[in-house]
Structure formats: C-alpha cells, structure tokens
A = this chain, B = another copy of it.
Amino acid sequence: MDIDIGNALDAVAAPGVSREYLDRLDRRVADAHERIERGMADDEFGYAALNLPERVDTAAIRDAVAPLADSEAVLTVGIGGSALGAATLTDALDTDGEAYYLDNVDPAQVSQLLDDLDLESTALNVVSRSGTTAETLANFLVVREAYADAGVDWTERTLVTTGDSGNLRDLADEHDLPVLPVPDGVPGRFSALSTVGLAPAAILGIDIESVVTGASAERESLSGSLYETPAYAYGAITYALAARGANVNVVMPYHETLETYAEWYAQLSAESLGKDGLGQTPVRALGATDQHSQLQLYRAGPNDKLVTFVHARDGPDVAIPSAELEGLDYLEGASLGELRDAEFEATEASLADVGLPNVRIEIERVDAASVGGLLYGMEAATVLAGELYGVETFTQPAVEWGKEVARDLLRGADALDETTSLRVTRE
C-alpha cells in the first residue's frame, strides 16, 4: 500500500500536523521500530502476529480444507477476530462459493440462515481460540443439530480452528475432525493472516498464497522512518491527529467489497488502542454512498475527525450507456469507475477545502496480494500507534467484566445495580 498524508498537514488541516513535528516524531518512530523488531525477533505476544507472513503454513491449510473443497458455501461460526479477518478476505475477493458468518447470537438470523442453506453442500468452519466462547459454542450446537435434522453427517463437513485444549479441541479429537491450530502469540484481531483468516478463504478458492505474498512485501517495507514506511506513516499520523483532537477516524473505502475491511480495521483499532482514556473511535463509512449520508456532517460538523480514504488505482469498469439526458452531459462517454473516482477526488478536496484532515491509502487493485498487503500494513500501523500512545496494544481487559456479568445473569443472578432507570413511555 501507499499513503498520502499531505491533507493531514497543518498547511491544509486544523487539526493538522506540522512538518517539524513529524520530523521530531520520526525519531520516536525509529525507537518504536526497534522495539517492534525486537518483539518480532523474540516472538513476543502480539508482536508475533507481524511474523505471520513468514510463518503461516499455507500448505497445511490447503491439506486441512481439502476434504471440503467441493463445498458450495462455507458457514463460519466465530465472533470478533475469529470472523472479521476471514470475512474481509471473502467479501473483498472473488470466490467460487458463498461465505456466511454467524458472528452474533440472534435467534431470528440463525433460523433464517439455516432455512436458506443447503447444508449438504455447506462446509462448517468453527473458530474459537479458547474453545469456550459462549456465542460461538451456542451457535455451533444449534447448527450441529440442524445438520443432524437435515440428515447430513456434520462430522464430514466440519473444520475446527482452535487452540491446544478446550471444548472444541476435545470435540475435534472425539470425532476425528480436521483441525487447524490458532497460532501462539497472535490476538484474535491480528489473526487475519493466519489459519483463522485464511482457511475459509482457501475453501472458497481464494489465492491465499498471494495474500501472504502481498503481506510479506509489506513486511519487507518496515523501516525506522515514517517517511519510508507507509504503515508507520499511517500509525504516526493517526496518533498525532488524535493528540490534536481528531477523536474520530472515519474509514471510508471507495469500493463496495472493502466495506468489511472497514469493520475489520474498526476492531483492530478499537481493541488495540481504546485504553487509558485514549483511542480514536473508528467509524465505518463507504464511498460514494456515504457522501449522500455523512458528508454534510464531515464538512460542516465539528472538526474532531480524520477521514481515511481507501482507494484502488485500477480495477474492472463498466461503461455508462449513452442517453443524452438533460443536465447529465458529463456522464456521456464516462464509465461508472470514472464517476466513482471523480466523486472520490471531489470529496477529498471538499474536506481539504474546509480543513478537515484526511489521508489517502492506495492499493494497486482489489486483489489477493494488495489486500494481504493492506491488512498487514494496518496491523503494523496499529502496533506502531500503540507504541506511540504507550498503551498495552495486545490486551483487551475491558471486555471481561461484561462477560462475567452475562454469565451470572444466565445463572439466575439478580438485576444489576449499576444502572438507573428514567423511563418515558407512550401514553
């Protein structure tokens, strides 16, 4: 990936970053890079994720999914990092089957999905590092029963990706299921380039080797200067802008199939950096659609935002048929891609025009290698930002409290006294 941070400089934007500050920050980037390289060399928890392009065993993934290669669809049961990396790949790239994700606990959704699917030709991909994630296990039990009710042997169609022990590992052993390991030292939100993200993609015919090659190239680019490393330039500019009041980071791809990428990045950023009162709020947007929804706010609302555009330089196109419609002369001879790109450039300029900081991330095209590079680059950017913020990038302690409360409620505990009620109801 390439990046252009010109519209985040104080010559254009407020909040904006001065060149002098960036030069000083670059010294901290050099130190942080040393820390990151050390973490990678020692395979420290979290930092190990940045070694995945060199470590992931795509041949083992191909072997594990081989029995499921004839599937017309893959149903992944997993939540958070166990689903979002895979979903980013299968939504962004061409597949030779359908990808479905049960990444919520919603009875209406589960019933609808199980009604619609032909389970005979659907691979079941169950993902949980601990093997004890409540939502995932509950959904798995429901889906397993649906396979049985449909007269399909679920053990013939199931792949499990999990850690060394736990319920899922036991189940896989008991039923002799193909099982892939979740790599050590890799938090869920950093697992897109591991077995977790790549296995469903492989079943659906995605060139996972190119995904990894693209990530490797990005890994090669890591250096001690933000001026030479696109990923670090992004990590550094988000950090610097957050410190200057850009509490919101709008991630706005101009490609429909990258919508899930924005979801993935939102998890990566929020869980890694949302700590100690810090962390930008990621907002998932989509160009050109959200020009007709959110642009009014971005241009005329509070200057508390960075907008991150994601754009591919090349890709398929469709000509707009000639129609000589009144007032639409500018569409004559144009294509949908040209219209989209003109809207993208105009939106970028329209934010610069009012001084709202924005950044352009560019990839060559929405293909396996470029998307692999993009995912790796954003992971490196987030790790760098964590070093600059001084937070514990790889933990998510604030998620645990609610999990325990939910368990207690299901066990019959009383209502909670943290909350207060002031109800307003219709007459």
Which residues of A pack against B, CB within 8 Å?
Answer: 1-7, 9, 11-12, 79-81, 84, 103-111, 132, 134-135, 137-139, 141-142, 144-145, 167, 170, 188-189, 217-218, 220-221, 223, 226-230, 233, 247-248, 254-257, 263, 266-267, 270-271, 273-279, 281-284, 286-289, 291-305, 315-318, 320-321, 323, 325-331, 334-340, 342-343, 345-350, 352-353, 366, 396-399, 401-403, 405-407, 409-411, 415-416, 418-427
Q: Tell me, in angstroms, the Cα distance from A298 to B410 when the chains sit together.
A: 23
**A281 near B316: Cβ-Cβ < 8 Å:** no
Given contacts A141-B321, A281-B283, could you give 6 more A-B pairs where the C-beta distance is less than 8 Å? A79-B288, A108-B257, A108-B316, A228-B424, A281-B304, A346-B416
Residue in B closest to A106 when the chains form the complex, CB atoms: B256
Q: Tell me, in angstroms, the Cα distance from A366 to B87 when the chains sit together.
A: 27
List the B side residues contacting A295 at CB < 8 Å.
Answer: 398-399, 402
Contact A104 B302, CB 8 Å, known A296-B271, A343-B402, A402-B350 = no
Partner of A401, one of B337, B350, B398, B427: B350
Looking at A139, A256, A275, the one whose CB has the most chain B CB atoms below 10 A away is A256
**B346 near A142: Cβ-Cβ < 8 Å:** no
**A352 near B281: Cβ-Cβ < 8 Å:** no
Contact A108 B419, CB 8 Å, known A5-B424, A409-B346 = no
CB A185 to nearest CB in B, in angstroms, measures: 19
Contact A134 B398, CB 8 Å, known A12-B420, A228-B424, A256-B106 = no
List the B side residues contacting A409 at CB < 8 Å.
Answer: 342, 345-346
**B342 near A425: Cβ-Cβ < 8 Å:** no
Residue in B closest to A264 when the chains form the complex, CB atoms: B293
**A410 near B233: Cβ-Cβ < 8 Å:** no
CB A356 to nearest CB in B, in angstroms, measures: 11
List the B side residues contacting A315 at CB < 8 Å.
Answer: 107-108
**A403 near B346: Cβ-Cβ < 8 Å:** yes
Q: Tell me, in angstroms, the Cα distance from A109 to B300 when the chains sit together.
A: 30
CB A260 to nearest CB in B, in angstroms, measures: 12
**A318 near B107: Cβ-Cβ < 8 Å:** yes
Residue in B closest to A19 when the chains form the complex, CB atoms: B422
CB A82 to nearest CB in B, in angstroms, measures: 8
Contact A6 B422, CB 8 Å, known A107-B335, A334-B410 = yes
**B270 near A402: Cβ-Cβ < 8 Å:** no
**B144 near A321: Cβ-Cβ < 8 Å:** yes
Residue in B closest to A300 when the chains form the complex, CB atoms: B398
List the B side residues contacting A233 at CB < 8 Å.
Answer: 424
Q: Tell me, in angstroms, the Cα distance from A303 to B279 when the chains sit together.
A: 11
Q: Tell me, in angstroms, the Cα distance from A10 to B220 when the chains sit together.
A: 51
Q: Tell me, in angstroms, the Cα distance from A209 to B343 when the chains sit together.
A: 38
**B279 near A301: Cβ-Cβ < 8 Å:** yes
List the B side residues contacting A323 at CB < 8 Å.
Answer: 137, 141
**B3 near A424: Cβ-Cβ < 8 Å:** yes
CB A120 to nearest CB in B, in angstroms, measures: 20
21 of the cross-chain contacts (CB-CB < 8 Å) are A1-B426, A4-B423, A4-B424, A103-B289, A104-B287, A105-B339, A132-B328, A135-B343, A141-B331, A221-B426, A221-B427, A227-B424, A247-B304, A248-B281, A271-B293, A279-B300, A331-B410, A342-B409, A346-B403, A346-B405, A347-B402
